[in-house]
Each structure stands twice: as structure tokens, then as C-alpha cells.
């Protein structure tokens, strides 16, 4: 399947871009270093967001009391952990793509990810609120 091969090649190329600064440095022109540093700080802010989600998941797993639904606590923990891991991986990818765009003088990559993340967190909070209220009414 040529389409699938192309996707695999693209994914592999992206992962190589994460790890090979020489290849990233070889494209385009070296930008004003302040832009690179700003991009790096944005990456770090995203990484800390991911780590905060991971910390939330770890804290939920060990500090949350038993919830009205079976395994709800574990489900919350796993969801937060997976979300945090995804945010961290995506931060690396977005950093590499942005760096490339800055060097090539192109448009910065746009992404639906922040909106999706915000909706997921908001929806999760809402579901949890419903679960807690349901538990309070039942007991």
C-alpha cells in the first residue's frame, strides 16, 4: 500500500527531525536566536503542562478517596497520564515543526491540539462533577 508507506515515511522523518539537530540546522537560514529561544520556552511550557497532567494522574491514583463508580479513580488517573504523555510527545513534534518553519521563513504550523486538549479537560471535569453529584444524591 503506497499510501500507508508514505505515512510511515512521514512519521519516521518527523521522529528523525526531533533527534537530529544537524538536519534541522541544515535547512533554511539561522534565525534571530531570540526566536529559537522563544520557541524553546514554548516547548518547555507545553512540557510542564504535560508533566502537570502526569502529576495530576499520579496524585489521583494515590490521594483520591474511593469514588462512587467502580474504578473511576483509576480511569481518571490513566486518562490524565495518557493525556500528559501525549502533550509531552506533541510538544517535541510541534517544537521541531516550528523551528523548521522559522528557519525556512514559512508560516508557523497551526494546530487543533490546544482546542482538543481544552475540550477534553473541560469535558472530563464536567463528567467528574456529574459523578460526584450523583454519588452525593445516592448516599
Partner 1 sequence: MNPPARDPGLQPERTRLAWRRTALTVTVVAMLTVRLALTGGPAGAPLAVLAVLGWGATVALCWRRATGTGVSGTGGRTLAGVGLCAAGFALIGVLLVLRGV
Residues that bind partner 1 (CB under 8 A): 17-21, 24-25, 33-34, 36-38, 40-41, 43-45, 47-48, 50-52, 54-55, 57-59, 61-62, 71, 74, 77-78, 81-82, 84-85, 88-89, 91-92, 95-96, 99
| Alpha carbon separation from 84 to 37, 38, 95 (Å, rounded) | 23, 22, 16
- Asked whether the beta carbons of 90 and 113 are under 8 A apart, the reply is yes
- The answer for residues whose C-beta is within 8 angstroms of residue 91's C-beta and 6 or more apart is 43, 46, 47, 49, 50
Q: How far is the CB of 101 from partner 1 (least distance, A)?
A: 13
Q: How far is the CB of 97 from partner 1 (least distance, A)?
A: 12
> What is the CB neighbour count within 10 angstroms for residue 97?
16
By beta-carbon proximity to partner 1, the closer residue of 15 and 127 is: 15
C-alpha cell at 35: 526566536
Q: How far is the CB of 1 from partner 1 (least distance, A)?
A: 28
C-alpha cell at 15: 521522529
- Asked whether the beta carbons of 40 and 99 are under 8 A apart, the reply is no
By beta-carbon proximity to partner 1, the closer residue of 90 and 135 is: 90
By beta-carbon proximity to partner 1, the closer residue of 48 and 68 is: 48
Q: How far is the CB of 38 from partner 1 (least distance, A)?
A: 7
Amino acid at each position: 500500500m503506497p499510501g500507508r508507506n508514505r505515512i510511515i515515511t512521514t512519521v519516521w522523518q518527523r521522529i528523525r527531525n526531533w533527534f537530529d539537530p544537524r538536519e534541522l540546522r541544515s535547512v533554511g537560514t539561522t534565525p534571530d536566536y531570540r526566536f529559537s529561544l522563544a520557541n524553546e520556552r514554548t516547548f518547555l511550557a507545553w512540557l510542564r503542562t504535560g508533566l502537570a497532567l502526569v502529576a495530576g494522574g499520579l496524585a489521583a491514583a494515590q490521594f483520591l478517596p474511593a469514588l462512587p463508580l467502580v474504578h473511576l479513580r483509576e480511569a481518571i488517573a490513566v486518562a490524565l497520564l495518557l493525556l500528559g504523555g501525549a502533550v509531552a510527545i506533541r510538544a517535541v513534534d510541534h517544537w521541531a515543526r516550528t523551528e523548521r518553519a522559522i528557519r525556512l521563513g514559512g508560516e508557523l504550523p497551526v494546530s487543533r491540539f490546544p482546542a482538543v486538549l481544552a475540550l477534553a479537560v473541560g469535558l472530563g471535569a464536567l463528567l467528574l462533577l456529574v459523578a460526584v453529584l450523583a454519588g452525593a444524591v445516592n448516599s
